[in-house]
């Protein structure tokens, strides 16, 4: 029985209870959300050390980290360093996007070791896992990979089932500036164009759902037609696929399978809120999982910033889950430092959105930080900081000449001045400053 099955029967599962505790919510609030599909708790029955995490309406905005072994850089120790960073700096989920060689060993070890939600994209793995050329893959082959990932304990899977022949025809008729930038979408596009057949994930969606139900895998409906440039955002191809994703969402719910819907992508800042509302409307308020959105296309090397700007707006207007973007986006496989930069930037965006939408107790840590700043209590500030090590490094680069200040203001530190006045102490500004 899946989480959504149990919730519909009125049961408070241990996972629902855990999410309620973590989110400062009544368990019944979470149960009702799961039953209605507004909240998903990705929790594979074969991921025993998972710390259950909820995604959806009324909950804290979640953050995902992508990592995995690539064909050009097959460096497993570096990927484990990224896992450690994801756990240390507050990620909620890890997507293993390994796409080269026999990836099962890394995937199984990841699920065994991490308490974070783990996701995968079976389409990425199919070619390497089965050692079969793309065009020779069959529907049976793809379902074998889906089952293998489910058996291993993957909590959520990106399945590009909405990219069917109707959507492909729309794409071909309307055209795009940047075509299809989704890796999974491009592989399916190549397969469909070469074979002339329907997308196997769409054609055999009921069988995919049977596997997901057996292991309680949350299906993350992939957005093969997300815009790869601000020019292509919310165009005919993206909306056509979104319509299909809405239909598939209901089919999954009817089968007792939890759903998350994936979204853009690149998108101009003034379009973000409308896109969030459109997705929620077409996909029946299922949790929405977005990459970015990146609000400009001209910042290679700084796309963690363009994504954080878009992510804050997206999450404050409807998105429930942000996939991080690193400074290496569009350039190369991210290294460990890129992961840290991208994760912290995305956590800032998620937290800013949580304050804006009134998530319970979201502002508490900000108030605690502000109180520490008022006292010029450095240790208190480190306790509240998203990345205390970075903050300490910056302070140490230019030590102040006097305690209770920094080199920005020195003796003219506003907090120090007001604190001393409030304490009734004499202020020594020095002869030149009197």
Over residues 362-374, mean pLDDT: 96
pLDDT higher for 156 or 105?
Answer: 156
Separation CA 1–CA 12 (nearest Å): 13
DSSP 179: -
| Structure tokens given for 204 | 């055999």
Q: Which residues of 296-328 are buried (b: 16+ CB within 10 A; e: fewer)?
A: bbebeeebbbbbbbbbbbbbbbbbbbbbbbbbb
pLDDT at 156 over 90: yes
Distances (CA, A) of 432 to 287, 406, 407: 60, 19, 18
pLDDT digits (tens, 9 = 90+) for 314-337: 999 999 999 999 999 999 999 999
Over residues 132-147, mean pLDDT: 93
pLDDT digits (tens, 9 = 90+) for 191-213: 999 999 999 999 999 999 999 99
Q: Which residues of 274-284 are buried (b: 16+ CB within 10 A; e: fewer)?
A: ebbebbbebbb
Distances (CA, A) of 182 to 44, 115, 178: 25, 28, 11
Distances (CA, A) of 137 to 146, 160, 180, 210, 212: 13, 15, 20, 21, 21
| Structure tokens given for 41 | 């708790």
Over residues 175-197, mean pLDDT: 96
| Structure tokens given for 360 | 């319970």
Q: Percentage of the chain surpassing pLDDT 90?
A: 85
For 13-41, give the DSSP string. Answer: -HHHHHHHHHHT--HHHHHHHHHHTSEE-
The position carrying tokens 């309620």 is 20
Separation CA 304–CA 289 (nearest Å): 17
Confidence band of 431 (pLDDT split at 50, 70, 90): low
Mean pLDDT of the chain: 94
pLDDT at 278 over 90: yes
pLDDT at 109 over 80: yes
Closest CA to 121 of 131, 111, 110, 107: 107
Separation CA 381–CA 383 (nearest Å): 5
The total number of residues written for the chain in this structure: 434
Confidence band of 265 (pLDDT split at 50, 70, 90): very high
266 in Cβ contact with 229 (< 8 Å): yes
pLDDT digits (tens, 9 = 90+) for 18-77: 999 999 999 999 999 999 999 999 999 999 999 999 999 999 999 999 999 876 667 788
Confidence band of 427 (pLDDT split at 50, 70, 90): low
- Residue 433 has a pLDDT of 42
């Amino acid at each position: 029985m899946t989480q959504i099955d149990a919730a519909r029967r009125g049961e408070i599962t241990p996972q629902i209870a855990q999410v309620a505790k973590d989110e400062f919510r009544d368990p019944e609030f979470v149960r009702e959300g799961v039953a209605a599909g507004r909240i998903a708790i990705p929790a594979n029955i074969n991921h025993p050390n998972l710390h259950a995490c909820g995604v959806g309406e009324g909950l804290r905005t979640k953050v995902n980290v992508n990592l995995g072994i690539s064909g050009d850089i097959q460096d497993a120790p570096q990927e484990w360093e990224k896992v450690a960073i994801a756990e240390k700096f507050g990620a909620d989920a890890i997507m293993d996007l390994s796409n080269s060689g026999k990836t099962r060993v890394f995937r199984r070890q990841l699920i065994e070791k991490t308490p974070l939600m783990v996701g995968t994209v079976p389409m990425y793995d199919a070619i390497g896992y089965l050692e079969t050329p793309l065009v020779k893959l069959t529907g049976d082959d793809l379902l074998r990979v889906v089952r293998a990932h489910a058996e291993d304990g993957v909590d959520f899977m990106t399945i590009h089932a909405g990219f069917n022949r109707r959507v492909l025809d729309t794409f071909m008729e309307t055209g795009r500036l940047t075509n299809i930038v989704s890796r999974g979408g491009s592989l399916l596009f190549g397969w469909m164009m070469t074979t002339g057949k329907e997308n196997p994930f769409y054609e055999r969606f009921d069988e995919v759902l049977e596997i997901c139900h057996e292991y309680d895998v949350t299906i993350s409906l992939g957005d093969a037609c997300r815009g790869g440039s601000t020019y292509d955002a919310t165009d005919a191809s993206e909306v056509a696929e979104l319509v299909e994703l809405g239909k598939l969402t209901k089919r999954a719910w009817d089968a007792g399978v939890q759903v998350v819907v994936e979204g853009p992508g690149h998108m101009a800042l003034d379009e973000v809120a409308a896109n969030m509302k459109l997705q929620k409307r077409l996909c029946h308020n299922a949790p929405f999982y977005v990459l970015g959105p990146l609000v400009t296309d001209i910042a290679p090397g700084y796309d963690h910033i363009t994504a954080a700007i878009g992510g804050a707006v997206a999450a404050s207007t409807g998105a429930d889950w942000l996939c991080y973007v690193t400074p290496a986006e569009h350039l190369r496989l991210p290294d460990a430092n890129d992961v840290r930069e991208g994760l912290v930037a995305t956590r800032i965006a998620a937290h800013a959105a949580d304050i804006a939408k009134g998530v319970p107790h979201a502002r508490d840590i900000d108030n605690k930080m502000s109180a520490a700043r008022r006292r010029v209590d450095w240790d208190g500030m480190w306790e509240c900081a998203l990345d205390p090590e970075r903050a300490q490094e910056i302070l140490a680069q230019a030590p102040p000449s006097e305690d209770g200040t920094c080199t920005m203001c020195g003796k003219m530190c506003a907090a120090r001045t007001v604190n001393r006045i409030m304490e009734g102490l004499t202020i020594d500004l020095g002869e030149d400053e009197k």
